[in-house]
Structure 1
Amino acid sequence: MRDEGKPIFTSLLDTDKYKFSMQQVNFHQYPGAMAKYRFKCRNKDIDLRPLIPAIREQLAMVAELRFTDSELRYLSQEPHLTSDYIDFLSDFSVDASQIFVREANGGIDIFAEGPMLKTSPWELYVLPIVNELWFRHSIPEPDYDEGRRRLANKIKFIKEQGKLEGFNFTDFGTRRRFSKEWQAEVLRTIRLELPEYFVGTSNYYFAREHGLKPIGTMAHEYLQAWQALAHPLDAQKAALNAWAQEFRGSLGDALTDVIGMDSFCNVLDLYFAKQFDGFRHDSGDPAIWCNKLINRLTELGLDPRTKRAIWSDGLDFEKMVELYRQFNPCIQTGFGIGTNLTNDLGYKALNIVMKVVEVNGRPVAKLSDSAGKTMCENPDYVAWLAGAYGRKEEFV
């Protein structure tokens, strides 16, 4: 049986790259912003309450961590990270007084509240902790051989496809991983077996440990925050403008589904289309989404083949190859794969998220292109926002 008290995190670097890029914009452009993040488990048949003491213990251990000098030197090699932001990280820690874990309404309630600079990182520590503790608790003797068999079948499937010119995928599985050790094994195997297609990982710790390229730009929380920092109807444009101002052409992949793809296409003018090299899908029908992207780029007089479509929603290897074959002749393609890569040992995966729900005392929301992904604590705000974008019937 695995030791349930063993620390899951030993480094603050064990998180996704986009947490740093978003935090840098936060640090430079809205350092005083306050935020609230709320955890949600979408599995109706799973009771996480027995894990509460262990979750609290793990979170307390994360709060004791600091970036080491060697980790800061590694981050300073990233050209988009500025020296003043690296200096900020040299004294950075997450604050245990700003993360709360309790039983409520017959289930578990986890939320972080405080300065956005300090509370945003909690998401990528909370989710892997809950995942790993759940599997330590419910699967004391995991069948790793079954996981290896499944991984070998994925690798075999890709190799049987012949030459996939332009096909590539990235590990996006940190928040969804079965365990830290299993993610490490998967990355070692994939890097060895599929080096021509596996381009990197979103996780800075594993990128550093395994000599992989760290990959990532922005997440939903970044665009949602601007609903409170600007007028909600101007939020997408303000967020994209701020990103362009901060990174000056670096990290040029934009997330498209915070209000919905139709809304994003309305915002995507020639300026933004030239500022951003790629566009990431994370909800809704993946083929419909890409056709909308291609059509919009064409309307703007741009060759879609000069841009990149990136899918990151519920992918498996078969779906990645299918989308690649359908769209690679028309646009560059890329894939970020999570659960099916780092949590596929034959056990039911948790469907858990931790989203920003409030910034500066104002509600924020994501109007997803997939039913059930909306998360906001103010239904009146969701109704207003959906109505303003002509989507009220989908959310009320």
Structure 2
Amino acid sequence: MIITSLLDTDLYKFTMMQVVLHHFPSAEVEYAFRCRTPDIDLTPYIDEIRDEIRGLCALRFTPQELDYLRSWRFMKSDFIDFLELFHLNERHIEVTASPKHNGEIEIKITGPWLHTILFEVPVLAIVNEVYFRNTQTDPDYAEGRARAAEKIRLLGANADYSECRIADYGTRRRFSKRWHEEVVLMLKDTLRDQFAGTSNVFFAYKHGLTPLGTMAHEYLQACQALGPRLRDSQIYGFEMWAKEYRGDLGIALSDVYGMKAFLRDFDMYFCKLFDGARHDSGDPFEWGERLIRHYEDNRCDPKTKVMVFSDALDIPKVLQLYERFKGRTKLAFGVGTNLTNDLGYTPLQVVIKMVRCNGQPVAKLSDSPGKNMCDDKHYLAYLRQVFEIEQTVGEA
């Protein structure tokens, strides 16, 4: 069984789930799966994927795991009480072959947001591991270790990089759970203070690491349907987040409507209220420069704020970003697939995205058009108009 603990997911799933419990407990959602890697036939593995999901749905949180979650200052007792009763329900997820008969599969998740939010990350990890254990029956772990060692060498190659810290963000697209854990332990043992922690709650729990994460795109997307007015949905999302966490978990996601729309809503109030922002699409160097100017224009010292970079990073790009922005702001780097799925094989670009909330289409219009995912072109056009996004942004 691939997933053996409900903690084997990203931290931001729990932080968002607590907001859902307290503010949107009746919200109904729909998620859809997509494999962006061309010419991948996943249909032979449908039964295996279903079996693994069935095992996932049999899991419960253990008393020890709940005690661990309870130890976080931002988790509230009623949420932990809810998790004590929680399990994923198989009736909310369906895995089928695409009716187009093109080798693609469809994974559809529907139901209450509160009861479906924890499906995404472990299901993606399942799809990856099932695929690779069938296509790479004798994995080249020696090659993977050599590549990981080279990444570690690059980070330690220059004394000027001693303050450059990276985190593991690679759960959803990892080669396998076993390899993910080996990489995490290698980083912990060799990078020491340069390893900031992991987004994976299970490995943080098991190995005494710092769990990292705040919010994901689905949260701000859902606010398109849950807020009072579409144009104010981003502002509404930030305000509800601050209402829940009162200063904790203060990293805002910047690319649900693109950087221009983000900065328009992220006014002096939010600049001072939030600890920083996360980059996840578009040119990271341009994003960083614009954010620094925005802080300065809003009478905030950029040196007191955090810029989190998390978009398709590898170590050379991390070091380039570090050299550009060190001393100008606080920096954090979340490296995903390049850490946990780099053994010499082409990783799968698989995603599960929220596409509806309360029956209404929801979407993001990021600065990387290939990341957008919505099945309603009319809604995308309306969203562009409402947020004054002039360029035509295609669907992924």
* Residue 44 of structure 2 is aligned to residue 80 of structure 1: no
Match of 1:234 in 2: 232
Q: Which residue of 1 aligns with 2:144?
A: 147
Kept in 2, the 8 Å contact 1:22–1:218? The answer is yes
Does 1:177 find its partner at 2:171?
A: no
Q: Which runs of 5 or more residues in structure 2 are unaligned?
A: none
Match of 2:378 in 1: 380
Deviation per residue, 1:350-390 (Å, 9 max, x gap): 00100000000011000010021110121110011012223
> Does 2:366 align with 1:368?
yes
**How far apart, in 1, do the equivalents of 2:307 and 2:155 lie?**
20
In the alignment, does 2:218 pair up with 1:221? yes
CA distance in 2, matches of 1:314, 1:59: 27
CA contact (8 A) 1:18 1:218 kept: yes
1:161 aligns to what? 158
Distance in 2 between residues matched to 1:316 and 1:395, nearest whole Å: 26
Cα deviation code 1:167-212 (max 9, x no counterpart): 2111100001100000110011111110121010001100011110
Offset from partner CA, 1:110-156 (integer Å, 9 cap, x none): 01000001111110111000000010011011010000010111111
For residues 75-121 of structure 1, the C-alpha deviation after alignment (integer angstroms, 9 at most, x for no partner) is 00011010000000000001100000001222210010000011111
Work out the CA distance in 1 between the residues paired with 2:146 and 2:87.
39
User: Where in structure 2 are the equivalents of 1:193-342 lying within 5 Å?
Assistant: 193-230=190-227, 231-342=229-340
**Residue aligning to 1:59:** 53
In the other structure, the counterpart of 2:107 is 110
User: Comparing 314-323 with 157-166, which one deviates more in the overlay?
Assistant: 157-166
- Correspondence for 1:96: 90
**Equivalent residues of 1:383, 1:392 under 8 A apart:** no
Shifted more, 202-211 versus 160-169: the winner is 160-169
2:94–2:109: 8 Å Cα contact kept in structure 1? yes
CA deviation after TM superposition for structure 1 residue 395, in Å: 2.1
Q: Contact 1:37/1:120 (CA < 8 Å) preserved in 2?
A: no
What one-letter code is carried by the residue in structure 1 that aligns with 2:176?
Answer: S
User: Residues of 2 paired with 1:60 and 1:129: CA distance?
Assistant: 11
Indicate the residue corresponding to 2:130 in structure 1.
133
- Where does the alignment leave 5 or more consecutive residues of structure 1 unmatched? 1-6
Residues matched between the structures, number: 390
SS of match in other structure, 2:299 = coil
**Distance apart, 1:40 and its partner CA:** 0.4
Could you tell me which amino acid in structure 1 is paired with residue 70 of structure 2?
S
Amino acid at match of 1:112: I
Name the SS for the 2:118 alignment partner: helix
How far apart, in 2, do the equivalents of 1:93 and 1:392 lie? 43
The equivalences for 1:29-68 within 5 A come to 29-68=23-62
CA distance in 1, matches of 2:339, 2:38: 24
Moved more, 249-258 or 369-378: 369-378
Q: Secondary structure at the match of 2:355?
A: strand
- CA distance in 2 between counterparts of 1:126 and 1:166 reads 35
Question: What's the % identity of the aligned pairs?
Answer: 48
TM-score (norm 1): 0.97
Q: Secondary structure at the match of 1:39?
A: strand
Amino acid paired to 2:252 = A
1:164 is displaced (CA, Å) by: 2.2
Q: Give the C-alpha shift of residue 327 in structure 1.
A: 0.6
Q: What is the DSSP-based 3-state SS (H/G/I as helix, E as strand, rest coil) of the residue aligned with 1:112?
A: strand
Structure 1 segment 119-130 matched on structure 2, within 5 A: 119-130=116-127
Which letter maps to 1:360? Answer: N
Distance 1:165 1:339 in 2: 23
SS of 1:9's partner is coil
Distance (Å, rounded) in 2 between the aligned partners of 1:354 and 1:388: 25
* Counterparts of 1:392 and 1:276, CA distance in 2: 28
Question: 1:340 & 1:308 partners in 2: Cα distance?
Answer: 23
1:352 counterpart letter in structure 2: V
CA shift for structure 1 position 274: 1.4
Residues in 1 aligned to 2:208 and 2:391: alpha-carbon distance in whole angstroms: 48
Shift of 1:163: 3.6
Q: Secondary structure at the match of 1:394?
A: coil
Distance in 2 of aligned mates of 1:353 and 1:392: 26
